Amino acid sequence: MKTQDTALIVEDLGKSYDGSVGVIDNISFTLPPGSFFTLLGPSGCGKTTTLRCIAGLEQPQRGSIRLGSDVVFDAASRVNMPLDRRNFGMVFQSYAIWPHLTVFENVAFPLRVSQDRRYDKASIRAMVDEALSTVGLAKLADRSATRLSGGQQQRVALARAIVRRPRLLMLDEPLSNLDAVLREEMRMELKRLQQQLGITTVYVTHDQSEALEMSDTIAVLNRGRLVQLGTPQELYFNPSDAFVAGFMGSPNILGASPPGMIGGDGLAAVTLTDGRSIVCRFPHPLNANEAVAVSVRAETINVVSPAVALREGHNRLPGTVITTGFQGEHVRYAVDIGGAVLQATGSHREQFRPGAAVALDFAHDATLGLRRDSHPS
């Protein structure tokens, strides 16, 4: 099975429910054909609303949506293609499997109720068999939906979403109901399936590890706005502000005084709120007097004895170990640096006990100086 390669263009999408507060505002992005795109953010940030607007389940007040040469929605010209004509496949968080139908009939359902095209029995059989084979469920076609595991239910939902060879596949937190082991397995399976089909995919999640592992491009949303768009590497190493850094897994965010005008990707010294000075890399330009936050990832911090000499090009903050947590190859530390607590990851070969005096060393270029918040007031 190979679906159509189609680009998706979303421009200035906006929606509100009460006419004043925007649930989403000025959402714009362009996806190349066959890409895996993730809408990432906390609950209530607008990611599912954005997905539902693209699908046709919600109607925006502003903006436009195009799939290839087709205008799916345009507020200015009052174009709003009906949901059943968009030919989009969608998998919901709940999977929405019909319990009284077999696996085959669950997957065949979109073909039987199709309004824009009639399918004969032979076509339905061939298309359902192909979809089930693609997701690895060919041998379970006659099984009752009530006798499926969580992972099998998800595969049925995927088969149903792709059976009509959709132009766009949309997935709304499809892994959230699975246990941790199965979730890891299904991440790889979803990515494999998406690459096999070559289908442009929009994925919604609040899990940054899912987004990093599966996506070609990620859009981070905060309070209805798209605050950064980029590859997983760009968002992980060069977040646009403190919110993105924190949401992409950095537990260490410190306040600092503004250093003045800063050009992108330059080094500059900043003063922390406790008066100590450290050197940061600024991945994005900052204006003078702009509020600054410092982000240091736990895995970039070396936990050493205070007697160890400081290496050139590194910052150092003295502290006291509060707690430790064994994680196999690594030990997770919470370290009090006086007025703040930093998370750090150390080797299991040299462990410091709670109460021990330590030094936290981290490279200048691994210490990020960021806007405290790029969201407009």
Average pLDDT, the chain: 91
Q: How many whole angstroms separate alpha carbon 162 and alpha carbon 157?
A: 9
Task: Give the model's pLDDT for residue 52.
Answer: 95
Q: How many whole angstroms separate alpha carbon 99 and alpha carbon 135?
A: 19
Give the pLDDT confidence of 331-340 residue by residue, as tens digits. Answer: 999 999 998 9
Higher pLDDT: 145 or 216? It is 216
Q: How many whole angstroms separate alpha carbon 369 and alpha carbon 357?
A: 27
Q: How many whole angstroms separate alpha carbon 39 and alpha carbon 46?
A: 9
Task: Give the model's pLDDT for residue 20.
Answer: 55
Give the pLDDT confidence of 132-173 residue by residue, as tens digits. Answer: 999 999 999 999 988 998 889 989 999 999 999 999 999 999
Q: How many whole angstroms separate alpha carbon 121 and alpha carbon 366?
A: 60
How many Cβ atoms are within 10 Å of 236's Cβ, its own excluded?
19
Q: Is the distance from CB of 80 to CB of 59 less than 8 angstroms?
A: yes
Q: Is the distance from CB of 178 to CB of 197 less than 8 angstroms?
A: no
Task: Give the model's pLDDT for residue 21.
Answer: 57
Mean pLDDT calculated for residue range 301-322: 96
**CA nearest to 144, candidates 97, 111, 112:** 97
CA dihedral for 300, 305, 311, 315, sign (positive or negative): positive
Task: Give the model's pLDDT for residue 6.
Answer: 62
Residue ranges of domains in the chain, CATH in brackets: 8-237 (3.40.50.300), 242-304+314-371 (2.40.50.140)
Q: How many whole angstroms separate alpha carbon 119 and alpha carbon 132?
A: 18
Q: Is residue 377 very low, low, confident or very high in pLDDT (cuts 50, 70, 90)?
A: very low
Task: Give the model's pLDDT for residue 3.
Answer: 47
Give the pLDDT confidence of 264-287 residue by residue, as tens digits. Answer: 778 999 999 989 999 999 999 888
